[in-house]
Structure 1
Amino acid sequence: MLDLDTTNSIEPSSTTHIPHRENIPSLASFVYGTWHHATQDFREVYHAITGEPIYRVSSHGIDMAKAVNYAKQHGAELANWTFHQRANALKQIAQALLERKEEFYALATATGATRKDAWVDIEGGIQTLFAYSSLVRRELNDEKIITEDAWIPLSKHGSFGAKHILSAKAGVAVHINAFNFPIWGMLEKIAPTLLAGVPCIVKPATDGAQLTQAVVHAILDIQLLPQGALQLICGQTYDLFEQLSAQDCVTFTGSADTGQKLRQHPHLNRHSIPFSMEADSVNSAILSPEANETTIELFVREVFREITSKAGQKCTAIRRAFVPENLLDTVQSQLINKLKKVVVGDPARSDTTMGALASLKQKQDVTHKVQLLAQEAEIVFGGNPDFKFNAEFPERGAFFPPTLLRCTTPDQASIIHQTEAFGPVCTLMPYQSIEQLAHLVARGEGSLVASIVKNCDENIETLVQKIAPWHGRLHILDEESAKESTGHGSPLPHLVHGGPGRAGGGEELGGIRAVKHYMQRTAIQGSPNSLTQVTHAWTAGASVREDRVHPFKKDFDELVIGERLLTARRTVTESDLVNFACLSGDHFYAHTDKIAAANSFFGERVAHGYFIVSAAAGLFVDAAEGPVIANYGMDNLRFVEPVKIGDSIQVELTCKQKTPKPQKDPTQPAHGVVVWDIKVKNQHQELVATYDILTLVARAANH
């Protein structure tokens, strides 16, 4: 059993419990459908600015086995929802949280964050829900499983083949989060988990747990999720891990030391329970060798922002800043000039520009880490007790000055490449060549992100190739991208957030990949009909249905998967090629120059590919007014064989998949998206073109 109370960058030095105080509120946990109030084993959390105790935390008395089983028995209802149902629920949750954001901002002041810093946690987290909801509704069909690939033939005559599907795991995801982003850290994990159809148990760090609990409370208030889909444990994990099984998974964000302890948990290893880790790392910023004044200014601005944003308490913050040796003094001078203007103190004061660390424990840890770094580097700004803080009682708060160090011999150093002071701390160091730079960056042994700040016309391909394997993300910044760049320290829902080695080796976010993390990939083998039944998408070779009514005359609900239209034939003429060339302006020699085409790969003139697509539409489209509203798009177009003058083409149009669309505007007709499999064949029954078209098709009024 691992007594995990917090995911801070340091462990408590003592397990001594604070005496019970009646006037300090206790944070309740939400497990097996009710709020659980502990009666002992409390740990107190203190206001980052005033030092006053603000709440107590304990999970004593929670039956962890009951919580896990409750998630699997009741929260498993999520797996019976379709992706679009889950995504729509997530969108409604995000809207509800946005309406209550001021409640969260009020609580965030206790963590020492300015409103600007709290915005990243609160509204950044909520926007992650919106982004994932939109992503799933746009990229996934309204099904319960993901069909990952097309038909894979495994037999000579096509009666046996395979596809890969992903289905929701029949377990629970345990999310252990860090103290620095108590809202965003939770929402970025539960978004893809719930979308995958898997229930969650969230365990926040003790510092900041009040914010996490407030958001969970708000989510539960709107009663959109099934019972057991979201549970919250404020306090210790006790024997939670021992209750997990092979269908469960664990994610962790926090210190590398704590993460490694969790990863080695014997129960997780024994049952091969997936463990994803996103740990603190010694991230880098690199000023390119050909830097000019503009590039230097961009670099200094980016490093400064990462030192001061959230008081440096970001897993992505820049800890090592590499600059060409001849520019070291220039960069140092400009950085110090900007740091001198920082006002550290109480965020309630309007002139404060940087808040406090999350706790006094964190202040002690950062102080200790700076002392370690100072063994190999010179402190050139900050890092001293004489710094003036903008607060009524600065000695009570977890204030720490922005601190810049300088190491002139990075090749001989080791501490600065391995030690992260999780606060407003960064070390400057010089490099002389790309080879040396790549070696120094790799000394960090894996990072979440590195920034390369360069001139617009500078080629950094070699540098990227050398350092990319050591990072989960590379942020390339120049004058052109700076206008809209989201910055070094901003993980985005669409991009992978994680990194190799010290950074944990895990991946969070990354768009649909994050949803797939909580699903099981399974190869399904069988006949085309069997796979059509399982995936709800027509598979080539499966049975088809034909009748006298043109499929474009049928509304969305009348159409049946596998419904096919075999069209009449059309013979391609020389006039077709000439007329299409004049209409489109495409006079490519292979279509229009008889002599040149004779010497070409084809040996004679061939029809334009897009003429074949257009002619195919002319064969299968029903021109009369009907349920088909519009062409929605085309996917997977391939031209397989050339079509020559005198060839005849024929089209097989098959209803492949149907996806109902939510009705955003009640004044518009209800409709859905129908995917049609298109196969264009010549007179020899050879495939000449294949693609999918998507149409918007009206639904029946009483659907």
Structure 2
Amino acid sequence: MSELLPNHLAGRWQTGGGPGTPLFDPVLGTELVRVSNAGLDLEAAYAYARDEGGAALRALTYAQRAGLLSGIVDVLKANRDRYFDIALANSGTTRQDSAVDIDGAIFTLGQYARWGASLGGTHWLPDGETVPLAKDGAFRSRHVQVPTRGLALFINAFNFPAWGLWEKAAPALLSGVPVVAKPATATAWLTQAMVADVIAAGILPAGALSVVCGSAQGLLSPLQPFDVVSFTGSAETASAIRSHDAVVRRSVRVNIEADSLNSALLLPDAQPGSEAFDLLVREVVREMTVKSGQKCTAIRRIFVPASCYAAAGEAIAAKLSRITVGNPRNETVRMGALASRQQWESVRAGTAALRRHADVLHDGSAAPLVDADPAVAACVGPTLLGAGRREAACIVHDTEVFGPVATLLPYDGWSDALAQIRLGQGSLVASLYTADTARAADAALALADSHGRVHVVTPEVAAVHTGHGNVMPMSLHGGPGRAGGGEELGGLRALGFYHRRAAVQAAAAVTDLLDGTAPEGVPGH
């Protein structure tokens, strides 16, 4: 039996009981490590995080906490090669795809370290301006934001075991809030290894960072009113979290990122042969294949003018036919495995459901795997579907296949395009492709109400845009409706989730003192 990974709770390493749950290499099918948290005292662990970790973090200024983030960056950089080895073994990703996760985590931490340093030696953040409550200005109101005196519980998805932790932990720790991370079991090894390295380096106060691997049973029950929960995963699990007693009765604050049927939209001016048309094709193929389509921000629906439908399908399919799939240890492989055989079964079933209502424009399942046994490996080729018949497309707007699968749809006019996109009931991101900047601006605003981010690609940014699916710490990550209604990142806006807002009503002399200690120029506050 493989090694049982310990959990770090209550300031010490603790091993759960029982045989544990095995983690596998999704390409080779071999067992790697096991995880368990059976029998551990979560209530005591949470209390320790609040009382010890929280108090120690709040005693530091924002600039000092930013220094802690810089220290974490140094540790992760020093162990970067080992993280790539773990990702290859446990996630089955190519080195380029692993970099999206690992280097993305390091970059995000570094960015929050730089932002935090600019906040200086204060322990609170201003919210708006001081306003008079009396005609002579002698009595005033000043809104402040102070760190919540609870913990931040992160329940993360399997697709980003590195970035998924640190993009949440960076603003939480900078805010002065201790973190308890619960990574998805299938790929928990990388998360646990990173936490272990940071703990060993002694950068953070005791109790500031904890990790619990294994079952999620009982995870929410010990939460208290000033704790916060950030969840990334399915809408079904999100619903269970929202209805939990801790949320309903104790008002634990919750941030949700759930299912999302993200769109790519080709505007009418971008006809076949144009640069904007080619940019759409390139981005769709990239989003379908990076991390084997296992990104919450990946393109799932592709909308093109009806006159471009056939040409777009042919162009995307031609590029997909050149994607090699299989064992990422082989240098010729461009797309590795799904996270597990269970995920492979889910993608196969979801694709089959969509295929009953759509045409197959490119069938990735027909291509042979490179250096991988199809009976064992969780590898599947990219599949492009086409829903040219409007009456058969309903399932496309309601079913997300979390893998290398996307559907091409035609539209007749701008109002029809908007109506179809909104059938997704709220998404994390939509991308627009055009050479008409005026129309791009209008289209971005038209889509802003139903998307957390609108990514506009025009020819002048072809070489520098950050990508439809890449989540940058400077921009908002989240989305309304089906996407969960949550918000993450967006620069220092992310700190708001970990703070409590209060109005201080006092004499001018008191609010003048507050104004004198407030950091200047806090974006998003």
Pick the TM interval, shorter chain: over 0.9
Deviation at 1:73, TM superposition (A): 1.2
- Counterpart of 2:230, as a letter, is T
Separation in 1, partners of 2:370, 2:7: 36
TM-score, length of structure 2 as denominator length: 0.96
Indicate if the aligned counterparts of 2:437 and 2:458 stay in contact, CA closer than 8 A. Answer: no
Separation in 1, partners of 2:414, 2:395: 22
Deviation at 1:291, TM superposition (A): 0.8
Determine helix, strand or coil for the equivalent of 2:177.
coil
Determine helix, strand or coil for the equivalent of 1:363.
helix
Indicate if the aligned counterparts of 1:434 and 1:463 stay in contact, CA closer than 8 A. Answer: no
Separation in 1, partners of 2:373, 2:486: 41
1:329 equivalent to 2:307? Answer no
Aligned-residue Cα RMSD (Å) equals 1.5
Which structure 2 segments of 5+ residues have no match? none
Separation in 1, partners of 2:193, 2:440: 46
* Within-5 A mapping of 1:356-367: 356-367=337-348
Deviation at 1:171, TM superposition (A): 0.5
Indicate if the aligned counterparts of 2:358 and 2:392 stay in contact, CA closer than 8 A. Answer: no
| Cα gap change, 1:410 to 1:134, in 2 (>3 Å) | farther
Deviation at 1:387, TM superposition (A): 2.3
**Number of the residue aligned with 1:512:** 492
**Number of the residue aligned with 1:590:** none
Separation in 2, partners of 1:370, 1:33: 45
**Number of the residue aligned with 1:254:** 233
1:123 equivalent to 2:118? Answer no
Separation in 1, partners of 2:437, 2:456: 13
Deviation at 1:260, TM superposition (A): 1.4
Deviation at 1:494, TM superposition (A): 1.2
Separation in 2, partners of 1:453, 1:415: 25
**Number of the residue aligned with 2:460:** 480
Indicate if the aligned counterparts of 2:157 and 2:233 stay in contact, CA closer than 8 A. Answer: yes
1:40 counterpart (10, 18, 23)? 18
Q: Which deviations, in whole Å up to 9, do the C-alpha atoms of 1:162-192 show, x marking residues without a partner?
A: 1111111110110000000000000000000
Deviation at 1:262, TM superposition (A): 1.4
**Number of the residue aligned with 1:212:** 191
Deviation at 1:410, TM superposition (A): 3.4
Indicate if the aligned counterparts of 1:290 and 1:458 stay in contact, CA closer than 8 A. Answer: no
**Number of the residue aligned with 1:460:** 440
Q: Which deviations, in whole Å up to 9, do the C-alpha atoms of 1:59-86 show, x marking residues without a partner?
A: 1011011011001110121011100000
Deviation at 1:395, TM superposition (A): 2.3
1:491 counterpart (471, 487, 501)? 471
2:504 counterpart (504, 517, 524)? 524
Deviation at 1:409, TM superposition (A): 2.2
Deviation at 1:363, TM superposition (A): 0.3
**Number of the residue aligned with 2:224:** 245
* Within-5 A mapping of 1:436-585: 436-457=416-437, 459-533=439-513, 535=514, 537-538=515-516
1:340 equivalent to 2:321? Answer yes
Provide the identity percentage. Answer: 38
**Number of the residue aligned with 1:380:** 361
- Counterpart of 1:55, as a letter, is V
| Cα gap change, 1:79 to 1:477, in 2 (>3 Å) | same
**Number of the residue aligned with 1:5:** none
Separation in 1, partners of 2:257, 2:308: 33
- Counterpart of 2:322, as a letter, is K
Determine helix, strand or coil for the equivalent of 2:462.
helix
**Number of the residue aligned with 1:171:** 150
1:75 equivalent to 2:53? Answer yes
* Within-5 A mapping of 1:621-632: none
Deviation at 1:133, TM superposition (A): 1.0
Deviation at 1:529, TM superposition (A): 2.1
- Counterpart of 1:195, as a letter, is L
Runs of 4+ more than 4 Å apart: none
Deviation at 1:44, TM superposition (A): 1.6
Determine helix, strand or coil for the equivalent of 1:486.
coil
Indicate if the aligned counterparts of 1:410 and 1:440 stay in contact, CA closer than 8 A. Answer: no
2:385 counterpart (390, 405, 411)? 405
Separation in 2, partners of 1:29, 1:195: 23
Which protein has the larger Cα radius of gyration, Structure 1 or Structure 2? 1
**Number of the residue aligned with 2:280:** 299
396-405 vs 285-294, greater mean Cα deviation: 285-294
Indicate if the aligned counterparts of 1:49 and 1:397 stay in contact, CA closer than 8 A. Answer: yes
Indicate if the aligned counterparts of 1:30 and 1:36 stay in contact, CA closer than 8 A. Answer: yes
Indicate if the aligned counterparts of 1:378 and 1:405 stay in contact, CA closer than 8 A. Answer: yes
Indicate if the aligned counterparts of 1:250 and 1:273 stay in contact, CA closer than 8 A. Answer: yes
Determine helix, strand or coil for the equivalent of 1:480.
helix
Determine helix, strand or coil for the equivalent of 1:179.
coil
Structure of greater relative contact order (alpha carbons < 8 Å, 6+ residues apart): 2
Determine helix, strand or coil for the equivalent of 1:208.
helix
**Number of the residue aligned with 1:315:** 296
**Number of the residue aligned with 1:13:** none
Determine helix, strand or coil for the equivalent of 1:242.
coil
Separation in 1, partners of 2:29, 2:343: 13
Indicate if the aligned counterparts of 2:326 and 2:335 stay in contact, CA closer than 8 A. Answer: yes
- Counterpart of 2:174, as a letter, is L
- Counterpart of 1:349, as a letter, is N
- Counterpart of 1:421, as a letter, is V
2:112 counterpart (132, 144, 147)? 132
* Within-5 A mapping of 1:271-310: 271-292=250-271, 293=273, 294-310=275-291
Separation in 2, partners of 1:206, 1:83: 33
**Number of the residue aligned with 2:169:** 190
* Within-5 A mapping of 1:665-676: none
Determine helix, strand or coil for the equivalent of 1:129.
helix
Deviation at 1:411, TM superposition (A): 5.3
Which structure 1 segments of 5+ residues have no match? 1-22, 539-656, 660-674, 676-691, 693-703
Indicate if the aligned counterparts of 1:41 and 1:60 stay in contact, CA closer than 8 A. Answer: no
- Counterpart of 1:160, as a letter, is F
Separation in 2, partners of 1:263, 1:100: 37
1:419 equivalent to 2:399? Answer yes
- When the two structures are aligned, how many residues end up with a matched partner? 517
Deviation at 1:457, TM superposition (A): 4.6
- Counterpart of 1:163, as a letter, is R
Separation in 2, partners of 1:297, 1:345: 27
- Counterpart of 2:28, as a letter, is T
**Number of the residue aligned with 1:101:** 80
- Counterpart of 1:97, as a letter, is L
Separation in 1, partners of 2:17, 2:143: 50
**Number of the residue aligned with 2:245:** 266
| Cα gap change, 1:119 to 1:134, in 2 (>3 Å) | same
Separation in 1, partners of 2:437, 2:443: 15
**Number of the residue aligned with 2:37:** 59
- Counterpart of 1:480, as a letter, is E
More helix by share: 2
1:49 counterpart (11, 14, 27)? 27
2:124 counterpart (142, 145, 158)? 145
Indicate if the aligned counterparts of 1:317 and 1:489 stay in contact, CA closer than 8 A. Answer: yes
2:71 counterpart (92, 96, 99)? 92
**Number of the residue aligned with 1:629:** none
- Counterpart of 2:203, as a letter, is L
Separation in 2, partners of 1:366, 1:125: 26
Separation in 1, partners of 2:518, 2:167: 30
Determine helix, strand or coil for the equivalent of 1:224.
coil
TM-score, length of structure 1 as denominator length: 0.72
Deviation at 1:156, TM superposition (A): 2.3
